[in-house]
């Protein structure tokens, strides 16, 4: 009706329709300025000082309210929209870090997550250079988080990309570590500075457990390869204590602070 065509197949379930609607809204989200970065503190174990913040993307949808990245990042990946969105994220994270510094808050670094598509896109290097230059940001203050599975998917190709990024002077963190079947041969050659232990190993962590043994092994690996090791998803004092005893360099999680808007984080700096 009204010159609007709607293709409907009875087999299409509600989920598919909803996803389609969400993708349409996602296409306009950048120009409508519906994205916001929240920041979560990373602390030197056991309880500080601040070593940096991780930028986590939030979408303020006009009807749905706050939409979390696990809902829309996969759609952004599938549709290629992640490239434009990712460019905004990198720029905004650099802008915010330099704003904090201009206000006198020494935030040592900002971490930005890169999805697989972004990581493999030919324009990545240029976008990062542009963002650093625009905001006068020292490259070493930017940490790019790439999941272990992305890094190990095609390790030879990843190595080349990571070497180029590293040559810019930015730091590399291997995210969700322990879930992605690393080839140790490649891990040894990756120009990374940090391993981030996946929350799966932290969630039920107790002394003497299998998880504790795995965490110890990751920390030993980090030491051998001269990488700092951070644990994500730290929610309790018991986890904080044990992770510190096991030798984690830094910690991140609700126990220290939830991801929050720049203004709220800034007020606590």
Q: Spell out a b/e string for 38-53, using b for 16 or more CB atoms within 10 Å of the CB, else e.
A: bbbbbbbbeeeebbbb
Between CA 253 and CA 50 the distance in angstroms is 13
Of Ca ion, ligand C2E, none, which one does residue 50 interact with (CB within 5 to 8 Å by kind)?
none
Which one-letter DSSP state was computed for residue 140?
Answer: G
Beta carbon nearer to Ca ion, 23 or 88: 88
| Residues of this chain, 130-169, that bind ligand C2E according to CB under 6 A | 145
| Residues of this chain, 121-150, that bind Ca ion according to CB under 5 A | 145
List, in sequence order, every residue forming a beta bridge with 143; answer none if it has no partner.
Answer: 111, 171
CB of 202 within 8 A of CB of 212? no
Helix or strand (DSSP H, E) at 71:
helix 69-79
175 binds Ca ion (CB under 5 A): yes
Q: What's the closest the beta carbon of residue 199 comes to Ca ion, in angstroms?
A: 6
Applying CB under 5 A, among 91, 109, 113, 240 the residue interacting with Ca ion is 113
Closest by alpha carbon to 229, among 246, 210, 253? 246
194 binds Ca ion (CB under 5 A): no
- 114 SS3 class: strand
- 120 SS3 class: helix
| Residues of this chain, 209-268, that bind ligand C2E according to CB under 6 A | 232-235, 253-254, 259
Beta carbon nearer to ligand C2E, 226 or 242: 242
For helices 69-79 and 82-102, angle between their N-to-C axes, nearest 10 degrees: 130
| Residues of this chain, 21-80, that bind Ca ion according to CB under 5 A | none
List, in sequence order, every residue forming a beta bridge with 260; answer none if it has no partner.
Answer: 39
CA dihedral in degrees (201, 202, 204, 207; nearest 10)? 90
Beta carbon nearer to ligand C2E, 103 or 254: 254
Q: What angle do CA 246, 205, 109 make, to 5 degrees?
A: 60
176 binds Ca ion (CB under 5 A): yes
Beta carbon nearer to Ca ion, 175 or 194: 175
Q: What's the closest the beta carbon of residue 161 comes to Ca ion, in angstroms?
A: 18
Of Ca ion, ligand C2E, none, which one does residue 194 interact with (CB within 5 to 8 Å by kind)?
none
* Contact region with ligand C2E (CB under 6 A), list: 68-76, 100-108, 121-129, 242-250: 68-76
Binding site for Ca ion (CB under 5 A): 113, 145, 175-176, 232
Binding site for ligand C2E (CB under 6 A): 40, 56-57, 68-70, 73, 86, 89, 113-115, 145, 175-176, 232-235, 253-254, 259
């Amino acid at each position: 009706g009204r010159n609007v065509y709607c293709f409907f197949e009875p087999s299409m379930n509600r989920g598919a329709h909803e996803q389609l609607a969400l993708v349409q809204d996602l296409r306009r989200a950048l120009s409508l300025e519906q994205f916001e970065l929240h920041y979560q503190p990373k602390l030197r174990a056991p309880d500080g000082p601040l070593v940096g913040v991780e930028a986590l993307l939030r979408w303020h949808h006009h009807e749905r309210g706050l939409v979390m990245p696990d809902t829309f990042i996969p759609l952004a990946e599938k549709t290629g929209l992640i490239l434009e969105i990712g460019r905004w994220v990198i720029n905004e994270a650099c802008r915010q870090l330099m704003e904090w510094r201009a206000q006198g808050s020494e935030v040592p670094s900002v971490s930005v997550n890169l999805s697989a598509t972004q990581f493999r896109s030919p324009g990545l290097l240029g976008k990062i250079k542009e963002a650093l230059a625009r905001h006068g940001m020292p490259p070493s203050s930017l940490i790019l988080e790439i999941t272990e599975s992305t890094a190990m998917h095609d390790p030879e190709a990843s190595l080349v990309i990571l070497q180029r990024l590293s040559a810019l002077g930015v730091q590399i963190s291997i995210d969700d570590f322990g879930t992605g079947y690393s080839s140790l041969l490649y891990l040894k050659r990756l120009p990374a500075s940090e391993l981030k232990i996946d929350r799966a190993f932290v969630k039920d962590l107790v002394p003497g457990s299998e998880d504790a043994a795995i965490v110890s092994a990751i920390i030993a690996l980090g030491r051998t390869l001269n990488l700092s090791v951070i644990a994500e998803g730290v929610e309790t004092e018991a986890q904080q204590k044990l992770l510190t005893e096991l030798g984690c360099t830094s910690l991140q999680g609700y126990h220290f602070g939830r991801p929050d808007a720049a203004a709220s984080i800034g007020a606590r700096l």
